[in-house]
């Protein structure tokens, strides 16, 4: 295959970004179809990006014969079903996280993927494709920081998006499933190990609205991994300074910190507020190139027949761990994994 | 009282520093006596600092009538007994941490202090007297960062001191008692609250020698405090980069980080290793002015009749929490406090 | 025009990068031809990038009718002649700096460009297209830092490339023409003004080889601009830490610094060398996205009929200023401009 | 001599600080006399610091027999005369900068000092006694950064003090004499060399009031030193972010930057303004310990008979260079030194 013909479903903020990337920035790829229930947005986007086929129905899009792959940026609750349908239709799949909204759904997705060994399935843990994370991972893999002692990760959303988060709260699955999954994935990737124990805490520090969904606006958990590495994760929705994704790996020989200052760019400002860096706005800004890199990897895997580094099993594992965090948080107990 | 006449016991590294500070940098104080079992060191130091009275025995020093206060930098196991004796002799006391090596000892010290309400008793939690910690505490107290969400503290000793740490391991009480107590004190000070639950983990990542004492070379714990604040503490002995004391308080309105780069001074170096800051060597360098400030506070309290901010009860509480961390770490369980 | 068909000449490091960008990352562009005297490199690159037409002769390439534009990454001495020829052949031109190797050549280029008002001509001052420089420029233009007081710019090449710089010294025109031109362009762009006085100094601090060409390995100049802004430029070839492009604009209301730490990425390392950031390797790494952005701008200008922000006159002005710096440096005099 | 008995003249902000330091923080020193024309301030300060002798007249203070040394923090115009008188009275002298308000005055001071070889004379270039500057100087002296290529220094006063600066403008001598002298001293100290050429520029960017005194609110100069080192100095009065004293020494083997971020302390703030450091307020805050260190050095020199590192000739040289900068700035010419 010279060129991968892709249909993309879902035109929310991230869906739009994926569509734009495929249309313009991914080599050996062509955006041949778009699918969304919002007809105005569908038409506007397809016209702007020069996309021929437009669908309101995912099933109809799947019947398109000159389409090799689908990109799922649809609501989480639809993922498992769409994965099964797309595989049955012989399409390669790139799916946004989560793999499914329950662990049972994830297991179903695993079976569907296993039944189609010749089709590429990749999950969108884009942080692994950010240049800084990749640089750090190479150093860790090369043993430059020795044995991992503590893995610490923060995921903070700006306070200014809080109304959206509150509105989405009934469907988000809670902060561990909605936000911490990326850090859970990073923890497994960097330590090459799995949790043994989990203790999660948190609460509603600024926004009591989350309590009715048994969720908090800020949560954290401490895990001990099977290789003895300590893992501390923090996820919050009330950062005044911006979108703060920060990761630290302390090893016996050295420490790596990724984005310890969540700087927007290389500009430093000296003014009445001191010496300061403005921060990233949101995930689209911070992981702009990571989204391109992961999609390129998806396309390259299809063309070369390579398997993506992020497998369907990673999706299940991350969900299982996130559910355990949620359970520990809700019950106030220590869980063995 | 115009001038506080002080006798200091113990001439280890920190004892020496306290003696030098009292002799030269503390206003309204006079170093009138020194006590140490090492006679050569005692003579050398007393001669150098111009100190008149020298003692091998603490009890003999207490009988000195023209001495108002004692500073205890003696071995931890002696603290409680020396506190009781000094109070009985009518002396004000500045004692290095810990208050006692068991909680029972701490309770005894409490009683002795309560029995002498007119004598000043102060415990050496010097970090509270560091300018940066004080600046941050004022901001937190003034509500500038809103409600505390997460308190995170790291205490890392340089790997180059590891042989000393191993030699001291049989007597240290473990990392939570030996190192984390300062961060436990800071957590209580910044959050104005107490732990409710504790889960501690850790291990021997580089130095198996600590295992025989049921200790690790790196440990951490996650606590939920009664005011809902999450508290994460990490203590390690294997930092290659230097002495790293780092504290972060994330609030609903802002975040403060103290010494997120443990820079030695204001010099930045650009060379073959990149753009870099050299780090603090040890506690004497990092908290150089804090040691002066706390001793000045002790002297000022005696002169003005004020009570020190750090009370004997703080000493007990910190010990209780450190013992709970130790128990959680040893048993692998979640503890309610 | 839907798609701009481009032929690129010169396959050195930067030429290769431009070719790769056009082939893969530029929207609405197609790389239809490559030209280089090194046949092996030409064939390898054209095969790899799927480029149909290959030429050893620039003149022959110009005769290609289904080619709309040329990109000149050829030796500096050829620029003026190639610009004239390409314009005469009706091609749009993107030319790497310098416009010409003498001011007279630049003036010739101006005339050629003026004679073809319907063809797009753009010069490769890529720093203007770097996200951080653009962000800073918007702030300055919006008046956020008030009136410009001091513009300071550093351009430092890593010491490890010194042998290449020495080998190139006979043809480089000296550091002001070879390196400082980018900063001269930035100074004019940020201050929207021109030099009035120039005083330049420097020398051979580590590598006496440059002296025979009346050049130094490190040079600097102080200019007063017509709007009163002070401008200080420093260019060096002996940086041990990496490729350091750093710019500061001090205004009456605030200061902006771009890349005050020339960090390679967002990874911070804590190890035996302290707390450190590794630095950019070279211009291809640091300005990776700027090279894409500028080429996209070139293509967009052709398609939309817009004029590029960087004009042929900018090329002449920058050369005039660089020559004045060189003269001041060689003669040790203050020059009025 | 066991204890140096000091009389201090002048109780402005810096005079007050020196008096407080001598009274409380300098070993082997005693503050025995204070002199100021403001009687209320004199009485209040002397009472508070427990100083026995108080004078409105400097001459009367000199007649005090149990006083070994004087500290001059008086108006600049009085320095030379007071130096001569104090030496004639057999007193050691610590004088604030400048040595004199003209070069002729400085030469007179030199002669007076030379006539009293047994008396210690020290000039208050306190930056040399700041820990970070000392650390950097040791590295430079040890050859760690190779041969000095560029010395760059900024001295910026906060905009909020501008009214004071305007009021003082008729008497300040201009920015080079008033502010840049500290950086001129540092340049000579770090490079161990002297200027050969000087070109100075600047202007009134925000405050035209300075023009009538032939001064600017922001000025800079580029010098070539005899050892070939390039020296760039910038002095400004309009910094919105605070008191910014920043120094960089670029060498052939490495670069050192002192206070590239003029951080007030070790606290980092993350809030709506980004990730930021608050800045130093003024010289008293930034050089708090340097003022102690320099006075201790003065006292130690008297006691041990050592000569201070900062000599009277340093004072003259710095004044000569500052006057040359001023002349170049006023005339718009390049000066050979």
- Among the candidates C95, C119, C143, a domain finishes at C119
pTM value is 0.96
Is residue C53 over pLDDT 80?
A: yes
Mean predicted confidence (pLDDT) in B15-37: 96
Residue B106 lies in a domain: yes
Residue A295 lies in a domain: no
Instruction: Identify whether residues C59 and C81 lie together within a single domain.
Output: yes
Q: Residues of A near C (CB-CB distance < 8 A)?
A: 24-25, 27, 131-132, 135-136, 139, 145, 253-260, 263-272
Of all residues in chain C, the percent with pLDDT exceeding 70 is 100
Measured over the CA atoms of residue D62, residue D66, residue D69 and residue D70, the dihedral's sign is negative
pLDDT of residue A1: 75
pLDDT of residue C169: 93
- Among the candidates C119, C136, C153, a domain finishes at C119
Identify all chain C residues contacting D150, using CB atoms and an 8 Å cutoff: 218, 220, 234, 236
Residue A297 lies in a domain: no
ipTM of the complex: 0.96
- Which tens digits make up the pLDDT trace of A7-50? 999 999 999 999 999 999 999 999 999 999 999 999 999 999 99
Instruction: Identify whether residues B88 and B232 lie together within a single domain.
Output: no
Is residue B1 over pLDDT 90?
A: no
Long-range pairs, B49-56, Cβ under 8 A, ≥24: B49/B19, B49/B20, B49/B23, B49/B24, B50/B23, B51/B19, B51/B23, B53/B7, B55/B7
Instruction: Identify whether residues B254 and B134 lie together within a single domain.
Output: yes
Instruction: Identify whether residues B237 and B132 lie together within a single domain.
Output: yes
- Can you read off the two tokens belonging to residue D241? 């972010």
Locate all alpha helices (DSSP H) within D95-157, ordered by sequence.
103-114, 131-141
Instruction: Identify whether residues A189 and A218 lie together within a single domain.
Output: yes
- Across chain D, mean pLDDT equals 97
- The C-alpha atoms of residue D72 and residue D11 are separated, in whole angstroms, by 10
pLDDT of residue C48: 96
Instruction: Identify whether residues A275 and A144 lie together within a single domain.
Output: yes
- Which tens digits make up the pLDDT trace of A120-165? 999 999 999 999 999 999 999 999 999 999 999 999 999 999 999 9
pLDDT of residue C133: 98
3 state DSSP class of D134: helix
The domain spanning residue B30 has which CATH number?
3.40.50.720
Identify all chain C residues contacting B263, using CB atoms and an 8 Å cutoff: 275
Residue A307 lies in a domain: no
Identify all chain D residues contacting A261, using CB atoms and an 8 Å cutoff: 275
- Which tens digits make up the pLDDT trace of B162-197? 999 999 999 889 999 999 999 999 999 999 999 999
- Which tens digits make up the pLDDT trace of B82-138? 999 999 999 999 999 999 999 999 999 999 999 999 999 999 999 999 999 999 999
3 state DSSP class of D33: strand
Instruction: Identify whether residues A115 and A138 lie together within a single domain.
Output: no
Instruction: Identify whether residues B106 and B148 lie together within a single domain.
Output: no
3 state DSSP class of D168: helix
Q: Residues of D near B (CB-CB distance < 8 A)?
A: 24-25, 27, 131-132, 135-136, 139, 145, 253-260, 263-272
Residue C309 lies in a domain: no
Q: Residues of C near D (CB-CB distance < 8 A)?
A: 146-147, 149-150, 197, 199, 201-203, 205-206, 218, 220-222, 224, 228, 230, 232, 234, 236, 238-241, 250, 252-255, 260, 332-334
pLDDT of residue C127: 98
Residue B239 lies in a domain: yes
How far separated are the first and last CA of chain A, in Å rounded?
Answer: 43
Mean predicted confidence (pLDDT) in B14-26: 96
pLDDT of residue C337: 81
Q: Write the secondary structure of chain A as one string of H (helix), E (strand) and C (coil).
A: CCCEEEEEECCCHHHHHHHHHHHHCCCCEEEEEEECCCHHHHHHHHHHHCCCEEECCHHHHHCCCCCCEEEECCCHHHHHHHHHHHHHCCCEEEECCCCCCCHHHHHHHHHHHHCCCCCCEEECCHHHHCHHHHHHHHHHHCCCCCCEEEEEEEEEEEHHHHHHHHHHHHHHCCHHHHCCHHHHHHHHHHHCCCEEEEEEEEECCCCHHHHHHCCCCEEEEEEEECCCCEEEEEEEEEECCCCEEEEEEEECCCEEEECCCCECCCEEEEECCEEEECECCCHHHHCHHHHHHHHHHHHHHHHHCCCCCCCHHHHHHHHHHHHHHHHHHHHCCEEEC
Instruction: Identify whether residues D249 and D151 lie together within a single domain.
Output: yes
Identify all chain D residues contacting A239, using CB atoms and an 8 Å cutoff: 270
Residue B49 lies in a domain: yes
CA-nearest residue of chain C to D221?
Answer: C222
pLDDT of residue C123: 96
CB contact under 8 A, C150 and D220: yes
pLDDT of residue D2: 85
pLDDT of residue C1: 75
- Among the candidates A62, A84, A119, a domain finishes at A119
Residue A197 lies in a domain: yes
Give the number of other CB atoms < 10 A from CB of residue D308: 18
- Across chain C, mean pLDDT equals 97
If one counts the domains in chain C, the total is 2
pLDDT of residue B337: 81
- The C-alpha atoms of residue C208 and residue D308 are separated, in whole angstroms, by 38
Question: Residue C89: which domain range?
Answer: 4-119
Instruction: Identify whether residues B76 and B200 lie together within a single domain.
Output: no
Task: Please report where in the chains the tokens 């967009």 appear, as a residue.
Answer: C300
Instruction: Identify whether residues C174 and C64 lie together within a single domain.
Output: no
Q: Which of B24, B265, B268 sits opposite D131 (nearest CB)?
A: B265
Identify all chain D residues contacting C202, using CB atoms and an 8 Å cutoff: 230
Mean predicted confidence (pLDDT) in D171-175: 92
Instruction: Identify whether residues C165 and C282 lie together within a single domain.
Output: yes
Cβ atoms of A249 and A140 closer than 8 Å: yes
CB contact under 8 A, D274 and A277: yes
- The C-alpha atoms of residue A210 and residue A258 are separated, in whole angstroms, by 30
How far separated are the first and last CA of chain D, in Å rounded?
Answer: 43
- Across chain A, mean pLDDT equals 97
The domain spanning residue D246 has which CATH number?
3.30.360.10
Q: ∠A209-A212-A218 over CA atoms, to 5°?
A: 60
CA distances from C169 to C178, C182, C201, C209 (A): 9, 18, 18, 9
- Which tens digits make up the pLDDT trace of D118-153? 999 999 999 999 999 999 999 999 999 999 999 999
**Paired sense of beta strands D121-123 and D92-95, if any:** parallel
CB contact under 8 A, C273 and B277: no
């Amino acid at each position: 295959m010279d060129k991968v013909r892709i249909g993309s479903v879902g035109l929310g903020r991230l869906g739009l970004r994926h569509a734009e990337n495929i249309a313009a920035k991914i080599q050996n790829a062509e955006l041949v179809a778009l699918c969304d229930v919002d007809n105005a947005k569908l038409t506007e986007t397809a016209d702007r990006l020069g996309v021929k086929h437009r669908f309101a129905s995912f099933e109809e899009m799947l019947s398109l014969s000159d389409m090799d792959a689908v990109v799922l940026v649809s609501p989480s609750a639809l993922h498992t079903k769409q994965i099964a349908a797309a595989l049955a239709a012989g399409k390669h799949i790139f799916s946004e996280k989560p793999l499914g909204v329950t662990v049972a759904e994830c297991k179903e997705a695993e079976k569907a993927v296993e039944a189609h060994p010749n089709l590429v399935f990749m999950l969108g843990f884009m942080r692994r494709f950010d240049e800084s994370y990749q640089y750090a991972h190479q150093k860790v893999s090369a043993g430059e920081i020795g044995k991992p002692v503590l893995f610490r990760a923060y995921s903070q959303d700006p306070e200014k998006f809080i109304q959206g988060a509150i509105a989405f709260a009934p469907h988000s699955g809670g902060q561990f499933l909605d936000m911490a999954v990326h850090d859970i994935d990073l923890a497994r990737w960097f330590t090459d190990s799995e949790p043994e124990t989990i203790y999660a805490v948190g609460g509603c520090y600024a926004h009591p609205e989350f309590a009715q969904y048994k969720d908090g606006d800020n949560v954290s958990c401490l895990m001990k991994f099977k290789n003895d590495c300590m893992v501390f994760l923090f996820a919050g929705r009330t950062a005044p300074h911006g979108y703060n994704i920060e990761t630290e790996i302390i090893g016996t020989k050295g420490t790596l910190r990724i984005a310890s200052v969540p700087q927007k760019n290389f500009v430093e400002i000296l003014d009445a507020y001191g010496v300061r860096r403005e921060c990233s706005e949101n995930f689209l800004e911070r992981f702009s190139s990571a989204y391109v890199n992961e999609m390129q990897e998806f396309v390259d895997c299809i063309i070369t027949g390579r398997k993506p580094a992020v497998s369907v099993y990673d999706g299940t594992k991350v969900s299982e761990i996130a559910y355990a965090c949620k359970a520990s948080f809700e019950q106030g107990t220590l869980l063995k994994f």
